[in-house]
Chain A
Amino acid sequence: MNADNPIISIQKVHKSFGTFKALDDVSLNVDAGQKVVVIGPSGSGKSTLLRTINRLETISSGSIVVDGRDINDSASDINRIRAELGMVFQSFNLFRHKSVLDNLTLAPIKLKKTPRAQAEQHAMELLEKVGLVDKAESYPVQLSGGQQQRVAIARALAMNPKIMLFDEPTSALDPEMIGEVLEVMVTLAREGMTMVVVTHEMGFAREVADSVVFMDEGKIVEVAPPDRFFDNPEHKRTQRFLEQIL
């Protein structure tokens, strides 16, 4: 792995909401192809950290460089950078007024000027990949949560992103639907996608993660490969957290 040149470089980032410190001196590097899983108690700043990477949340200080570009530099085109960062939300956020197919083709057609036929062909390949070819003409409300989330992953992939960010993609799902979404994510990981995943799915973390990040009170407490992280965590707080959830 190319440690000198991470694809995401987060340096000394602080983020405050008023007087509340949501991120407190956070630094983290992610290399191309790496899968990083972020865990931690509720309110520890996991979503905030993830959302600063594509500037849905602006930072108070520090720097974030994605694929060689400082995302908070006014000279960088944030919309271009965002197009390379796919994001998957806990609440799916599919465009409710568009069919599944149109959800996938909207951004490529409008932003990349991809011809419709080509965009639709790519969309169908992605739907094939997430197992939802037969739902191409459906509207989001007609789908189950698990199906919606798989469409949301396909929609993000339609822009051919270099990095995928997941914010608790399975937390809003009924238990029987979690597997189908994780399966898609595992496939994506196997294909070499760079992924930053906030999740409570420890099985997924063990199986897929190259490194596990534990956050608490806006700080990164521990970063370790999954074996070490789960079987032999260094910090007391990590140990206590793992005892609670495992």
Chain B
Amino acid sequence: MRDKHVVIDVGDGAAIPDPEDKGLFTAWRISFFGTLGIIAYLLIFRPDPYLDIIKFLPDGIVVTFQVTFASIGLALVLGLIAGLGRISKNTFFNLVASTYIEVIRGIPLLVQLFYIYFALGHLVRVPDMVAAIVAMGFCYGAYMGEVFRAGILSIDDGQTEASLSLGFNRSQTMRYVILPQAWRIILPPVGNEFIALLKDTSLVSIIAVSDILRRGREFASESFLYFETYTMIALIYLVITLILSKILSNVEHRLSHYERR
């Protein structure tokens, strides 16, 4: 019998708040309302230049979200395939998935980004956005593959046996019995990856994608207000990631209903 105690590492995303924490002063609340307070203070008492800065950024926020959602979509699909490949008994499928994960995890994201942008640029003309999404998606897909694998393996063999004994085949068992349960285990690390990915999208500013950071750099290089601009950018990233981690914690809480007595 295989030991089923799988611990899924929490990545480098923001800490997901504990929905059971009913205290008034939680780390999340202090950070969130503190950040909002600082932004409000700056906009009200120092509208010049902070109001100008923040007016310049919304297009960038939209782009950051577009890249994040498209990349996470691609990463989830690749991750599911890679995760299933890694546990597959089919040697070919297994090797392809394992190699993909090994290779991608060995190359820094920024290098992948440059590589896909410039190398692919020689072969086909890819829009900057697409290059960014493909690079982010492939990179995070490899990490996601390991998360999926661990999540699937954490489900007790008895669930599979019960499903098979009812007449479900292997793929029906995966679909109706294993994945719906693995999903709940996978969600926290996937949420962390999502937030980490959103932060890492700041790297795409280097390849001419107008995300938050690039918009900010454009503003700063014209106005020379580097300190003020990057202050505002940091605050905006913080607000976004804090909101996301709160949403994730609530979704997670809801998904765990069948584990509660």
Contacts and interface: CB of A to CB of B under 8 A. Distances in A.
B180 interface: yes
Contacts of A156: 165-166
Contacts of A139: 257-258
Contacts of A83: 166-167
B258 A107 contact: no
Contacts of B167: 79-80, 82-83, 107, 111, 159
A96 B181 contact: yes
A198 to B, nearest CB: 14
B258 A82 contact: no
Interface residues of B, number: 23
A80 B163 CA distance: 13
A141 B261 contact: yes
Given A107-B168, A159-B167, A97 B161 contact: no
B161 A96 contact: no
A49 B224 CA distance: 79
Interface stretch (B30-38, B40-48, B53-61, B169-177): B169-177
A94 B162 CA distance: 8
A85 B161 CA distance: 13
Mostly, the B contact residues are helix
Nearest to B156: A93
A85 B165 contact: yes
Given A56-B161, A106-B176, A155 B166 contact: yes
A110 B176 contact: yes
B158 A93 contact: yes
A149 to B, nearest CB: 12
B82 to A, nearest CB: 24
B159 interface: yes
B21 interface: no
Contact of B258 (A86, A87, A91, A96): A96
A142 interface: yes
B181 to A, nearest CB: 5
Given A89-B161, A110-B172, A110-B176, A97 B258 contact: yes
Contacts of A94: 162
A89 B258 contact: no
Contacts of B168: 79, 107, 110-111
22 contacts: A56-B164, A79-B167, A82-B164, A82-B166, A85-B165, A87-B161, A93-B156, A94-B162, A96-B159, A96-B258, A96-B259, A97-B181, A97-B258, A106-B166, A110-B168, A110-B172, A111-B166, A111-B167, A139-B257, A141-B259, A156-B165, A159-B166
